Structure 1
Amino acid sequence: MKKIRIGAYMPSAGDFPAEHGVPEMATRLERAGFSSLWVSDHVVMPSQIQAAYPFAKDKRATWRTDTPWYDAMMILAMVATVTKHVELGTAVLV
């Protein structure tokens, strides 16, 4: 029987990564037994979103457009230096 593998999404936007530390988050998740760690990013974000967002009742985007996003490749590079066994990936790379 194959072993179930579960991955974790690591926040890569807003204040959370800076407040909690990317290396610390990665080592804790690896110690907790996750087999992979995932990040996403948005290197381009419009200043206003006028299109209807289909996943919200009021059709408005559920995120702020001025939220800072950290570069996914830089986050994964940091994670790679402090982990030994987890696989790394991008959930979304825009």
Structure 2
Amino acid sequence: MILKHHLDGFVFYTLYGHLSRESLIGLKVGAKVNQGEVIAYLGKAEVNGDYAPHLHFQIIKDLQGNIGDYPGVASLKDLEFYKENIFNPEVVLGL
């Protein structure tokens, strides 16, 4: 699931991965969500490649034409680009 955000004239995206299949039912491009609203639930291990339930979270500047998904890993040759295009959520969220 990818949400588009507008903040002080700046557009960015947040990606939420490894969600339950049920969380994806009824999703529609352009649907609005409200602050504090539950938007999804974590997927169980069997839908997460046998990993324990967890959230894959990315803050993205430019989706580069991707629709509905965005790479969660990058090759070494593309690393510098992704360092500029993906924000460190620890810094943004104050963790």
Q: Structure 2-normalised TM-score? A: 0.25
Greater share of residues in strand: 2
TM-score, normalised relative to structure 1:
0.25
For the pair shown, the structure with the greater C-alpha radius of gyration is 1
Which has the larger helix fraction? 1
